Chain A
């Protein structure tokens, strides 16, 4: 059995880890509130823009536009959103597994990875990473997604990729978030009859030319917000669990320590009483 000193040392260690965990939990919950507000804000404009994009896509004339036309797929581009930091439970494993599962269908894939964790993962797997975005400051996410959208359009128009997928973690609530892979380009098309009466200003092609970059910007921004919210929620929940485990461990160790101390005291008392009895009974002379 370990000595009292060792147990005391362990309690101290666990206690300092617990403090760390609690601090991380608090940071995650504050960030969650902030990022959640951002997510709630971007969702409506994304939904509406997606509806407009789908409606335009259902027009017959739009089918010939490069953003809508299907191509023979030689290269597929994947944008995968992961986190920069760990300690978020299975958050990163889930999204990378989902993306990998989607890729492993005999595709010639290229990967744009957002977040250091994903970069490490795909590098280890020996995948073709064409671009990586790491350590994005929260305040730069909006402009970062705008430039990513611009880069993406350029890349797609050059013919380097024939279809683009986006993999992110969809945030439902603090305990539920599911990894999803969605098609980004060619742009989605609504099933059913198109509204042919609608006019487009200045003309349909210019309209698509201007609308799609805005749509992609909002889509990427939203995907980032969804992923980031899920990450903070995952971290918060995991840190909460870790904090509880640490408290339990401290309690157990304290009990062990106390028991050990009690044993030592009892032992000492026994020794003292034994000696006292021995002396009172006359010591060695009377034996």
Chain B
């Protein structure tokens, strides 16, 4: 797999556009992108067939030259065209944009709710929020992860 990835030609990349209500937020070239749909992960490589999918709450992983970038993405629509992935989502956050303290506070608050055995419908709605908080925490942890991945990648190359 790694051999295959490094052998790929430079021009065989897909373009990713992420549009949010704050405008076109993110444009990037990548080898592969993995997104979370409502019924599981969906990976897109160069030359993918045209497909439109509904996104769930989860992490968007962008693989490029052996690096992984993570974004927190909550809901939306993905449109895969000819080597282009257009993502329309209400919330897309980069690791540096996430307020880790707030996400952590949310997580603790929501987990306390489960311990207290709150009402059923309350638990259902807070499960979604808890999932979002966990996604945010994982993505924001990625700030340090990128560096780690870089070093590992370097070792493999030489």
Chain A residues at the B interface, C-beta cutoff of 8 Å: 40-42, 44-45, 48-49, 52, 56, 142, 195, 197-202, 206-207, 210-211, 214, 217-218, 221
Given A48-B88, A49-B77, A52-B79, A210 and B38 contact (CB-CB distance below 8 Å) = yes
Q: Which of B51-59, B61-69, B96-104, B137-145 contacts A (4 or more CB under 8 A)?
A: B51-59
Bitwise interface map of B from 33 to 51 toward A, beta carbon under 8 Å scored 1, else 0? 0000111001000000111
Q: Which residues of A contact B88 (CB under 8 A)?
A: 45, 48-49, 52, 214
Can you pick out 13 interface pairs between chain A and chain B where the beta carbons lie within 8 Å of each other? A41-B23, A48-B19, A52-B77, A199-B50, A201-B54, A202-B39, A202-B53, A202-B54, A206-B38, A211-B54, A214-B77, A217-B90, A221-B21
| B21–A45 CB distance below 8 A | yes
Nearest neighbor of A47 in chain B, beta-carbon distance: B19
Q: Which residues of B contact A142 (CB under 8 A)?
A: 21
Q: Which residues of B contact A214 (CB under 8 A)?
A: 75-77, 88, 90
B20 CB-CB contact with A under 8 Å? yes
Nearest neighbor of B50 in chain A, beta-carbon distance: A198
Number of interface residues of B (CB under 8 A): 23
Distance to closest chain B CB from A76 (angstroms):
28
B9 CB-CB contact with A under 8 Å? no
Q: Which residues of A contact B54 (CB under 8 A)?
A: 201-202, 206-207, 210-211
| A44–B24 CB distance below 8 A | yes
Chain B residues at the A interface, C-beta cutoff of 8 Å: 19-24, 37-39, 42, 49-54, 75-77, 79, 86, 88, 90
Distance to closest chain B CB from A188 (angstroms):
16
Report how far A116 CA is from B54 CA in the complex, Å: 37
Distance to closest chain A CB from B93 (angstroms):
15
Given A52-B77, A210-B38, A214-B75, A41 and B50 contact (CB-CB distance below 8 Å) = no
Report how far A198 CA is from B38 CA in the complex, Å: 19
Report how far A89 CA is from B96 CA in the complex, Å: 44
The CB with the most chain A CB atoms within 10 A, among B23, B24, B42, B51, is that of B23
Q: Which residues of B contact A202 (CB under 8 A)?
A: 37-39, 53-54
Q: Which residues of A contact B79 (CB under 8 A)?
A: 52
Report how far A206 CA is from B77 CA in the complex, Å: 12
The CB with the most chain A CB atoms within 10 A, among B42, B49, B53, is that of B53
Q: Which residues of A contact B90 (CB under 8 A)?
A: 214, 217
Report how far A200 CA is from B77 CA in the complex, Å: 11
Q: Which residues of A contact B53 (CB under 8 A)?
A: 200-202, 207
| B20–A45 CB distance below 8 A | yes
